[in-house]
Amino acid sequence: MNNPFENAMLQLDKVLNVKKFNEDLILRLRQPDRDIRISIPVKMNDQTTKIFDGYRVEYNNILGPYKGGIRYHHDTEINEVKALAFWMSIKCAVVGIPMGGGKGGISVNPKELSKSELENLSRGWVKKLSYVLGPYKDVPAPDVNTTPEIMDWMTDEYTKLTGDTTKATFTGKSLDKGGSEGRGPATGLGGFYVFDSLREQLKLPEVCTVAIQGFGNVGLNASQIFTKHGHKVIAISDSKGGVYNQDGLDIDELVNYKKVNGNLSNFPNSKSISNEELLEIDCDVLVPAAFENQITKENVNNIKAKVILELANGPTTPDADEVLFSKGVEVIPDVLANSGGVTVSYFEWDQNLKGEYWSEKEVFDKLLHIMNTSTQKVYENAKSNNTDLRRGAFITALEKIQSQM
């Protein structure tokens, strides 16, 4: 079993083989500033009380307040949250925003809860953790299975408990509750900007074939954005499996189909495939947009994509990474590729604190500028150190954090 935190630390070690950094900094980056484990009692609809395990990891705040999403998943545990918090520290530094790294979660399958139970659980997480949160201390956001509505409940609970009315303690809120234009598609769009900035350097064709694992916030938005820009999404999957059509899938039709049928299988004019098959499809760009540890030493030799755009966090294990690097498959790493989400979260925080409203165009223009400049910096750092883009991204981040110590 791959431990995501051990994998994250291996990634750090691999960077240090290429370039040396301040030893105090590296020591600090080997563990979080604070990892908090809580139990959350929730009164269920049948009047019994159930206890859920919750987490908040504050990795480091050298660049600014701890920042990172909250994940609701039955497999969520402390090593996963620690890894995600570490990657957030690196990610914020890659894009140069004044935020540190954090992450939170609850071990729960949210599909098994009623709406009121989910609301009580979300408010319960805030009740236990409000003492560490705050606009200048620790600013959570959505991640897997957490939505703008959940962020609204959490913001409301935090306001009730503390009297803070800035709304800047949580990002990813609904638009009418202090959210930012463009936060919904930000991760998928940012990922597309990164890909587009590198497309020619990576010698990809003008029209690429794309396979996407995951059909949630990130995967769905990415599929729509790639299609809108003339690329062909030939395969996509969710937790129940996927569909494939070499001529390209009609994504709008697929969204409607899933709404009606609850899954993707038997979508007209497509072949149903498993998640394993999706990863091994012959395509220009493979986009993992679901979970960690999807491309491993077990399946890496079957991967046929030319480029992997990591929109999920931690989808490629370090041993698989080495194989891909030696075979010349470029991996655009998560800490760059999915940083559009936290960048627009930072915009939301900034707007809340200044009492401003930015139009969608303003948000997307600012996002494009940050994605382009960060991507080219990462590319230059990879080339000048004769290494891959992941190490290029880590070098960009470590230089930034080191300069602020």
Residues that bind ligand NAD (CB under 6 A): 142-145, 187, 213-219, 237-239, 275, 289-291, 311-313, 338, 341
37 CB neighbour count, 10 Å cutoff: 13
Of 109 and 201, CB closest to ligand NAD: 109
Closest distance to ligand NAD from the beta carbon of 42 (Å) = 20
Q: Give the C-alpha separation, 102 to 141, whole Å.
A: 10
Nearer residue to ligand NAD within complex by CB, 237 or 396 = 237
- Of the candidates 82, 91, 103, 173, the residue annotated as catalytic is 103
**What CA–CA distance (Å, rounded) separates 197 from 211?**
19
Q: Measured from the CB atom, is 54 or 341 closer to ligand NAD?
A: 341
**To the nearest whole angstrom, how small is the minimum distance from the Cβ of residue 203 to ligand NAD?**
27
Encoding tokens for residue 382?
Answer: 């990879």
| Residues 16 and 26: beta-carbon distance below 8 Å | yes
**Crossing angle between the packed helical segments 78-94 and 4-16, to the nearest 10 degrees:** 40
When the beta carbons of 73 and 123 are compared against ligand NAD, the nearer one is 73
Least distance from ligand NAD to the Cβ atom of residue 16, Å: 25
Q: Which residue is nearest to ligand NAD (CB)?
A: 216
Q: Which two tokens stand for residue 320?
A: 């698989």
Nearer of residues 54 and 184 to ligand NAD, judged by Cβ: 184
Q: Which is nearer to ligand NAD, 187 or 375 (CB)?
A: 187
Classify residue 194 as exposed, middle or buried by CB count within 10 Å of its CB (0-12, 13-18, 19+).
buried
Question: In angstroms, rounded to a whole number, what is the distance separating the alpha carbons of residues 78 and 5?
Answer: 9
Where is 261: in which H helix or E strand?
Answer: helix 251-261
Instruction: Tell the smallest beta-carbon distance from residue 405 to ligand NAD (Å).
Output: 26
For residue 172, the minimal CB distance to ligand NAD (Å) is 7
The residue (of 141 and 387) whose beta carbon lies closer to ligand NAD is 141
CB of 294 to ligand NAD, least distance (A): 7
In which residue are the tokens 């223009």 written? 365
Tell me how far the alpha carbon of residue 361 is from its chain's centroid.
22
> Are 71 and 142 in contact, with CB atoms under 8 Å apart?
no
* Catalytic site includes residue 137: no
> Token match 């690196």: residue?
90
134: left (phi over 0), alpha (psi -120 to 50) or beta: left
User: How far apart, in Å, are the Cα atoms of 149 and each of 68, 84, 161, 257?
Assistant: 17, 22, 19, 24
Q: Residue 4 is encoded by which pair of tokens?
A: 């995501």
CA dihedral (175, 179, 182, 185) positive or negative: negative
* Beta carbon of residue 104, minimum distance to ligand NAD (angstroms, whole number): 12
Pair 331, 312: CB distance under 8 Å? no
Catalytic residues: 103
